[in-house]
Amino acid sequence: MAATIRDVAQASGVHVSTVSRTFSAPHLVNPETRNRVLAVAEDLGYRPNRAARALTTGRTHNIGLIVADIANPFFPPLIKAAQAHARARDYHVFVADTDEDPQVEEELIQTLTKQVDGVLLCSPRLSNRAIERLHADVPFVVVNRRVKGMPTILMDVGHGARLAIEHMTGLGHRRIALVSGPSGSWTSGEMRAAATAMEGVDLVILGPNAPTEQGGLAVAADVIASGATGVLAYNDLVAIGLIEGLYERGVRVPDDVSVVGVDDIVSGRLNRPKLTTVAMPTAAAGRMAVDLLLQSVGDSATPTLATLETSLVVRESTGEVRQ
C-alpha cells in the first residue's frame, strides 16, 4: 500500500497536520521541519491523495471535457491543448465522448459532477434547458454554442465564411454555393447568416447535410446542378467528400470548381488538392476554455464570452474561375 500522510507524520516525528501543511501551506511551517518532512515523504514515495483532499477542500483539481465524437478530427487538437493546459495548472482531465447522444451526455455529466470542478462542453447536443439545469451542480464552459448567462468560447466562423467567399469572388467566382451542415448546428447558422448578408454574391444554399465525407459526396450532384463555380463547405470532411464526388462526375477541383472547407483538419493538409480552408483555432479554444473554466470555478458569477478569430488558409483547392 502506498504511503499516507500518517506514515510520513510518524516517520518524521511530527503530527499529520504538520505534514499536511508542508504540502498545502508550506510557509506556515518551520523550514527545518518542512525539509525533514519533505525528505521523509520523498523517501516513502508519499504523494497527497487528491481525492481525499477534495473531500475536505471541495476542489477536486479535475475537469471534465465532453465532446461529441473523439474520433472526429476536429476534436483531438482541442483535447490535446486543453489537457496540456489543464495539466500545467495541476488539473487532470476526464474526457468523454457522447456519440452525439443527448441522453448519454446528460447522464455522463451527472455522474461526473462530483468528481470535477467544472465541465467543458464542446458542441453539446443537449438542450439549453438541460444545460441550465445541470449548471446548478457544476460550472460549465460551452464551446461553439450560445447558452444565455454561461461562459462561452466562440470561434468566429462567420468572419471566416466572409473571408472564404471574398477569396472566391476575388478569383472571379460569382455564383457561390454554401453547403450547410446539420440543421441544429450553431456553426452552420453563423456561416449561413454571414454568407446571406454579403452583397454582390449570387448565393445558393444547399442542405442541410451530414457533417461527414458522406454528406459531401452526396451533395456533389446538387452542387453541379446549381451552376456554382465556388463552394464553401460546412467543414473539411464535407469538402473532401465533395471534391471526391465532383471528381467522380468529371468535375475537377480547382480547375472547374473551387472548394473551401472549414476546420483545418490534418487530412485537408495531406490531401491532394490540398484544401483551402477556414482554420478554426481549436487549440487556442481548448486552452482558453480551460482558463475560463478555472476562473469561473473561483468566482461563479462571471459569465464571459470570448470570441476567437478564424483565418483563411489558401492552398490548392481554389483557383481562378474558368473563362
Would you tell me which residues interact with DNA (CB under 7 A)? 1, 4-6, 13-21, 23-25, 28-30, 32-34, 46-49, 52-53, 55-57
Place of cell 495541476: 90
Candidate segments 151-159, 174-182, 248-256, 265-273, binder of its own copies by CB under 8 A: 265-273
Least gap, CB of 146 to its own copies (angstroms): 26
Name which of DNA, its own copies, none residue 205 binds, using a CB cut-off of 5 to 8 Å depending on partner kind: none
Least gap, CB of 90 to DNA (angstroms): 12
Nearer to DNA, 29 or 294 (CB): 29
Q: Would you call the peptide bond into 273 cis, given omega within 30 degrees of 0 as the criterion?
A: yes
Does the footprint of its own copies cover residue 84 (CB under 8 A)?
A: yes
Contact between residue 268 and residue 261 where contact means Cβ atoms under 8 Å apart:
yes
Name which of its own copies, DNA, none residue 110 binds, using a CB cut-off of 5 to 8 Å depending on partner kind: its own copies
Cα 191–chain centre separation = 18
Give the CA angle between residues 163, 73, 257 to the nearest 5°. Answer: 45
Q: Rule CB under 8 A: choose which of 27, 129, 148, 272 binds its own copies.
A: 272
**Which H or E run contains 246?**
helix 236-248
Least gap, CB of 286 to its own copies (angstroms): 10
Nearer to DNA, 52 or 221 (CB): 52
Does the footprint of its own copies cover residue 95 (CB under 8 A)?
A: yes
Helix/strand/coil for 44? helix
Q: Which of 51, 66, 65, 67 is nearest to 114 (CA)?
A: 51
- Set of cell numbers at residue 206: 444547399
Give the whole-angstrom CA distance, residue 2 versus residue 291. Answer: 33
Q: DSSP secondary-structure letter at 250?
A: T
Name which of DNA, its own copies, none residue 29 binds, using a CB cut-off of 5 to 8 Å depending on partner kind: DNA
| Percent helix, strand and coil across the chain, each to the nearest 5 | 45, 15, 35
Question: Which residues in this chain contact its own copies in the complex, by CB under 8 A?
Answer: 2, 45, 47, 49-52, 54-55, 60, 62, 69-71, 73, 75-77, 79-80, 83-84, 87, 92-97, 99, 108, 110-115, 137, 213, 240, 244, 247, 266-267, 270-272
